[in-house]
Amino acid sequence: MRTLFATLAIALPLLITGCSSQPPAAEQPGAGVEDRKPTSITTPPVTPPAVTTGAMDPYSIAALKDPKSILSKRSVYFDFDMYVVKDEFKSLIEAHAKFLVNNPKMKMLIQGNADERGSREYNLALGQKRAEAVKKALLLLGAKEEQVESVSLGEEKPACADQTEECWARNRRGDMLYSGEF
């Protein structure tokens, strides 16, 4: 037992001095800082599409009222509780964007709508998101910000008043109106 205490008496001071908590004599240099200055990004300009010649200019103002023209279609429909433009409406939006590019003085109002389900506040917000989604798609395709305005009508302007899924689907839409129509 004495040898155990003697061994501890000798080892204990060595352990204490070996575990000193004093800082190291020389500090290590810090890590380098990466330079993150913003760089400019250049994007190629959007060029308007070439207008085809023929009996009627497909992007003329008359095409807006021609039932044979894609421009006579003015509604983009959305899935329940969604505000993402579906693939089936991309060609419609492209046609309206080309029209706006070719007619820079024309203005468009996009009215976002929702079905009657949900609170009034929720439907107003959802209608605005739908109108903004259509507007963003048009702007990405070359329309100018000053040409396009988006508003929400919420559930206030239903296309159908029945309480069926088919009717509700007709009310979930973004309507595109041109100068003189709003």
pLDDT tens, 79-91?
999 999 999 999 9
Q: For the chain, what percent of residues have pLDDT higher than 70?
A: 69
The Cα 74–Cα 156 span in angstroms is 18
Most confident of the ranges 16-20, 27-31, 155-159: 155-159
- pLDDT, mean over the chain: 84
**Whole-number pLDDT of residue 114:** 98
Tell me, yes or no, if the pTM score tops 0.95. Answer: no
Q: At residue 19, does pLDDT exceed 80?
A: no
pLDDT in tens, 164-176: 999 999 999 999 9
Q: How far is CA 91 from CA 33, 76, 82, 123, 149, in A?
A: 48, 11, 19, 27, 20
125: CB partners within 8 A, 6+ apart: 152
DSSP 123-135: HHHHHHHHHHHHH
Q: Which domains does the chain have, with CATH numbers?
A: 76-178 (3.30.1330.60)
**Whole-number pLDDT of residue 3:** 59
Top-confidence residue, 144 or 40: 144
Q: At residue 134, does pLDDT exceed 90?
A: yes
Segment 89-113 mean pLDDT: 97
Q: At residue 70, does pLDDT exceed 50?
A: yes
Which of 18-32, 40-54, 83-97 has the weakest average pLDDT? 40-54
